[in-house]
Structure 1
Amino acid sequence: MLLAAMVIFPGLTPAKALGGLGLVSVAIRFAFKEIFENFFAGIMLLWKYPFEKGDFIECESIMGKVEDISVRMTQIRRPYSELVETPNSFLFKNLVRVLTDSDFKRLTIMTGLAYSEDANESLQIVEIALTTCNTVNQDLPIEVFLNGFGDSSIVIEVIWWTDPTPLGQRKSRGKVVGAIKRALDQAGIKIPFPCRTMTFKEPLRIHQIKESSPTE
């Protein structure tokens, strides 16, 4: 083939021809580099099974449900229904969090307690409130602790286990917050909100506005 090219193109020398073939091979290698990377990454993903179809995963800014895994691309359905086709090499090179790797997910929220309230009694009321939520796994520990001193309240940390899917977590968080609020309200325990006391260097002057009579 090289000899025929030199016959057709008299100015073509072996050095030029080999140099041209080298450039072509480099161009082809770069053109197909991403395809080969995605292919081999797909083989590794299918072989090692870090996640499967139906799992919820998070990688960088992408989070959603795995709908399909091929040798080149992985289809991920995001929470707002957008379908994202992600190159396998991207998933293989970056940290992937498999949200549904276990049957339950541990959640934590913080709530406040007025400084005038009985802390130990409040902890018991909050813990009992979580036992009324059907989204809270009652076979795993429910933990309620005093976490620290806030600006306007004592901070309470509440920990429980629930469904690992994003929708299951949101539902459970909403029910737990509602149950804690109702339980503390029924017990007459205050959940404070931030308050500010303003101090002025000099007393404020209060100006009274004279009201005019209807006849004026």
Structure 2
Amino acid sequence: NFISGVMIMVRKPMRIGDLIEVDDVSGRIEQITMRDTYVRKLSNELILMPNAKIYKNAVEIITDLAERRHQLIVGVAYGEDAARARDVIEEAVRSVKSINTNRGVEVYAREFNSSSIDFTVRWWAGSEERDMHRTRSDIVIAIKQALDDAGIEIPFPYRTLTFKGDVPIAGLGDTDTGSED
């Protein structure tokens, strides 16, 4: 841990205040000592992470730059015009003020899913946690509204159930309509 701490301090890959993710722990760096790095989780718990763990594992430094690319998957119904849906989604994302339109908005048809044609939607915005959540929320709302306004369906999964025999339906008794003697 000590040598790992020295290496982390010399290389300075992270700064106090950086938002990081390592080994399924996400949080903000509060302090780096020779033995441990203090990481405040997003839910406000403090984690003392041994420097050896940080040095030996991949660390995602989320806030090393002011902006980062964000991504969302959006599905539209099979009966819809995919090219039109793509254009509506792209215009909706561009309308959100908190994104950086200079870096571009990308909307690509991704795959045929079980009940939808899925699109990958990418944009650039702030890397701080509140920026990420706020921008994503604004984009989801803008896409939903734009697709609704355009009459484009966002499907939900459909399931067809097949039973191997007669299935009794509760509450339905014998419906004998024969005449009385």
Q: Higher strand fraction: Structure 1 or Structure 2?
A: 2
Unaligned runs of 5+ residues in structure 2 are: 176-181
Residue 114 (structure 2) pairs with residue 151 (structure 1):
yes
Larger RCO (CA within 8 A; separation ≥ 6):
2
2:53 to 90, 101, 110: 90
Unaligned runs of 5+ residues in structure 1 are: 1-37, 211-216
Classify the secondary structure of the residue corresponding to 1:75: strand
Alignment size in residue pairs: 173
Cα distance in structure 1, aligned partners of 2:160 and 2:21: 44
Identity of aligned residues (%): 37
Q: Structure 1 residue 128: deviation in Å?
A: 0.6
Cα distance in structure 2, aligned partners of 1:71 and 1:203: 71
Cα distance in structure 2, aligned partners of 1:110 and 1:100: 23
What TM-score results when the alignment is normalised by the length of structure 1? 0.71
Residue 90 (structure 2) pairs with residue 127 (structure 1):
yes
Q: Could you give the per-residue CA deviations for residues 128-181 of structure 1, whole angstroms, max 9, x where no partner exists?
A: 101111232211121111112122221111111122233322222211111100
1:16-95 pair list within 5 angstroms: 38-95=1-58
Equivalent residue number for residue 69 of structure 2: 106
Q: Could you give the per-residue CA deviations for residues 33-90 of structure 1, whole angstroms, max 9, x where no partner exists?
A: xxxxx33322221111111111111111322111112223221111011112222222
Letter of the aligned partner of 1:122 in structure 2?
Answer: A
Q: Could you give the per-residue CA deviations for residues 107-138 of structure 1, whole angstroms, max 9, x where no partner exists?
A: 22111111221111111111010111123221
Q: Could you give the per-residue CA deviations for residues 14-45 of structure 1, whole angstroms, max 9, x where no partner exists?
A: xxxxxxxxxxxxxxxxxxxxxxxx33322221
Q: Higher helix fraction: Structure 1 or Structure 2?
A: 1
